[in-house]
Amino acid sequence: MALRLIFMGTPDFSVATLKALAQAGHEIVAVYTQPPRPGGRRGLDLQKSPVHQAAESLGIPVLTPVNFKEAEERQRFRDFQADVAVVVAYGLLLPVDVLEGTRLGAYNGHASLLPRWRGAAPIQRAIMAGDTKTGMMVMKMDKGLDTGPVAITREVDIGPDMTAGELHDELMTVGAAAIVEAMAKLEKGDLPLVTQPEEGVLYAAKIDKGETRIDFGLRAAEVHNHVRGLSPFPGAWFEAELNGKLERIKVLASQLAEGEGEPGTVLDANLTIACGSGAIRLLRVQKAGGKPLDTADFQRGTPLAVGERIG
């Protein structure tokens, strides 16, 4: 017998889980997602979230409250009389009476190995810290920030050159399967919960624009992790003079390389850049307003000269 559930999510990352739950035969009585935001070429059009669009394509009612401060909004949630709420990257804090507003509570799919990387940006922070392993966890939500007991854990290796975008896509698929498994066990009354350990807590703060500039004074491994942890969005960047004009250039892919020199110095025509110790090679870059280019194509257009300093 299928569960009667409410799904709560917003970005692309959440869509796979929504579709997997629908395919598993659960009765999704409502989808909650962030309200439409300004978008389009000029930022004038209101754009529905990826989850909003997916829910409409599945014929599921969509609700977009700004928050749950109003008692009426919380009551509307309870009135669905759902068995369970499933939350994946929703983006709103949920009050206790929403978390407890279904028969079996609320379960969250979180992209880290809790208690490491609680919070908003676990995928990016794991890579930026040089972690070699992460995963998806299904936990029962409580009033804390990602502090609830864990039901299912699925580990995923982080390759040495894996970007946040690549890890996002892998965890998205793994997470969808884990949630479906959790709901099947919950339906049978066989979903054990394990309290998170008190040691090893780290918080994955939201990425701030002020931390996206590349510091070539760091060790090469740290610079490489910074680049791949912010690729493809928002993108780590440096400034360089091109055709007499200082321009911002994003780095979308890099690798560790041999070489030494003053940090930020271009060591060869393949865009090997000296760091505080060691060097990295820039593999894919993007000028402001331009399209992503492999290094060879970029160097054919507006080359950075050997010996030039960037930063």
Give the confidence band of 310 by pLDDT, cuts at 50, 70, 90. very high
Query: Would 129 be classed as within a structural domain?
Result: yes
Residue 138: which residues within 8 A CB-CB, separation 6 or more?
A: 107, 108, 109, 110, 150, 151, 152, 178, 179, 182
Structural domain containing residue 59: 4-203
- For 95, 142, 170, 266, the CA distances from 21, given in Å and listed in that order, are 24, 22, 18, 50
Place of tokens 């909003």: 52
CB atoms within 10 A of CB 114: 23
Give the confidence band of 38 by pLDDT, cuts at 50, 70, 90. confident
pLDDT tens profile 58-109? 999 999 999 999 999 999 999 999 999 999 999 998 999 999 999 999 999 9
In this predicted structure, the answer to whether residue 40 has a pLDDT above a threshold of 80 is: no
Residue 147 maps to which CATH number?
3.40.50.170
Based on the fold, state whether residues 30 and 137 are members of the same structural domain. yes
**Known binding residues:** 112-115
Tokens of 231: 């690729």
Residue 243 maps to which CATH number?
3.10.25.10
Based on the fold, state whether residues 154 and 292 are members of the same structural domain. no
In this predicted structure, the answer to whether residue 43 has a pLDDT above a threshold of 80 is: no
Tally of domains in the chain = 2
Closest CA to 51 of 3, 95, 84, 7: 7
Give the model's pLDDT for residue 243. 84
Domain end, chosen from 184, 203, 222, is at 203
Based on the fold, state whether residues 136 and 15 are members of the same structural domain. yes
Residue 107: which residues within 8 A CB-CB, separation 6 or more?
A: 84, 85, 86, 87, 138, 139, 140, 141, 151, 179, 182, 183, 186
User: What's the chain's average pLDDT?
Assistant: 96
Tokens of 171: 């965890």
**Alpha carbon distance, N-terminus to C-terminus of the chain:** 59
pLDDT tens profile 216-269? 999 999 999 999 999 999 999 999 998 889 999 999 999 999 999 999 999 999
Residue 197: which residues within 8 A CB-CB, separation 6 or more?
A: 115
Based on the fold, state whether residues 199 and 233 are members of the same structural domain. no
In this predicted structure, the answer to whether residue 123 has a pLDDT above a threshold of 90 is: yes
Based on the fold, state whether residues 195 and 238 are members of the same structural domain. no
What's the rounded Cα separation, in Å, for the pair 106 and 88?
11
Beta bridge pairs of residue 107: 86, 140
Based on the fold, state whether residues 49 and 174 are members of the same structural domain. yes
Give the model's pLDDT for residue 39. 75
Give the model's pLDDT for residue 302. 82
Based on the fold, state whether residues 46 and 191 are members of the same structural domain. yes
Please classify residue 220 by burial: count the beta carbons closer than 10 Å to its beta carbon, then call 0-12 exposed, 13-18 middle and 19+ buried: buried
Give the model's pLDDT for residue 247. 94
Domain end, chosen from 164, 179, 203, is at 203
pLDDT tens profile 11-31? 999 999 999 999 999 999 999
What 3-state DSSP class applies to 137?
A: strand
Based on the fold, state whether residues 220 and 101 are members of the same structural domain. no
**Known binding residues for (6S)-5,6,7,8-tetrahydrofolate:** 112-115
Query: Would 309 be classed as within a structural domain?
Result: no
Domain end, chosen from 158, 188, 203, is at 203
